[in-house]
Amino acid sequence: QLQLQESGPGLVKPSETLSLTCTVSDDSISSNIYYWGWIRQPPEKGLEWIGSIYYSGSTYYNPSLKSRVTISVDTSKNQFSLKLSSVTAADTAVYYCARGVPFSSLDYFDYWGQGTLVTVSS
Amino acid sequence: EIVMTQSPATLSVSPGERATLSCRASQSVTSNLAWYQQKPGQAPRLLIYGASTRATGIPARFSGSGSGTEFTLTISSLQSEDFAVYYCQQYNYWLTFGGGTKVEVK
């Protein structure tokens, strides 16, 4: 069964860049069907989509975060990555990676990683 | 941005009873709506997509309905494992989630 696993630092200093990687197991990230996305959830709050990427490298980002977000893919490692620059305490959240299923228009998410907490603090 | 508003914020229900959760979009999303269940410390789990299609392995007691701007998730007879937070997500124009409805034991 498909598994996704987030990895990266759990603590990032303000103004620095948050970097996370999602490793996909038991499925090829090069599938020409799916997108691969990042979603975050601040403590005790709701979900916010950050952005998504296709295996070819085509991306689309949440307009509210677009200026600070870069998502990339490494098909040789079956991984995709998130970089969020100029972080503040407001970026403290559990970050999830997930598989996006394009349906009719854009994507819903059918498989999710377990999530990783990233805290922004000096 | 399409704003998704879920109501109520908290729903108190007894086991075995029916639960009805609402999700409203600020503009039409046609049927491009999904529902997720999230338990404490866990990732969200896909329940419904296309407003009314159950995802693989989801019990028949979960059903979704609606189109345009008004959507409903119904749990016909609440089981102990159904007490959780439920989120709707539209994928018609960018991707946005509702604020969630917590279903708690009455």
- Decide: helix, strand or coil at residue B1: coil
How large is the average pLDDT for residues B84-89?
A: 98
A103: which chain B residues are within 8 Å (Cβ-Cβ)?
A: 32, 49-50, 91
Question: Mind listing the pLDDT tens digit for each residue in A7-46?
Answer: 999 999 999 999 999 999 988 888 878 999 999 999 999 9
- CB of A1 within 8 Å of a chain B CB? The answer is no
Averaged pLDDT of chain B = 97
Cβ-proximal residues to A70 (8 Å cutoff; 6+ apart), any chain: A82, A83, A85
Say yes or no to pLDDT of A58 above 80: yes
- pLDDT at site A109: 97
| A48 sits in which H/E element | strand A48-54
The beta-carbon neighbor of B97 closest among A48, A52, A110 is A48
Question: Mind listing the pLDDT tens digit for each residue in B12-53?
Answer: 999 999 999 999 999 999 999 999 999 999 999 999 999 999
* B-proximal residues of A, 28-57, CB under 8 Å: 37, 46-49, 52
Which percentage of chain A shows pLDDT scores above 90?
83
Say yes or no to pLDDT of A117 above 80: yes
- pLDDT at site A105: 74
Look at A49 and B94 and tell me if their CB atoms are within 8 Å.
yes
Cα first-last separation, chain B: 35
- pLDDT at site B79: 96
- CB of A109 within 8 Å of a chain B CB? The answer is yes
Look at A49 and B1 and tell me if their CB atoms are within 8 Å.
no
Say yes or no to pLDDT of A79 above 90: yes
- pLDDT at site A98: 97
- pLDDT at site A64: 95
Q: Which of B91, B93, B101, B102 to mutate to test the interface with A (most CBs of A within 10 A)?
A: B91
The conformation of residue A32, written as its DSSP 8-state character, comes to S
Neighbours of A88 (CB within 10 A): 9
Say yes or no to pLDDT of A85 above 80: yes
Nearest residue of A to residue B50, measured between CA atoms: A103
Number of alpha carbons in the 13 Å side-chain half-sphere of residue A62: 19
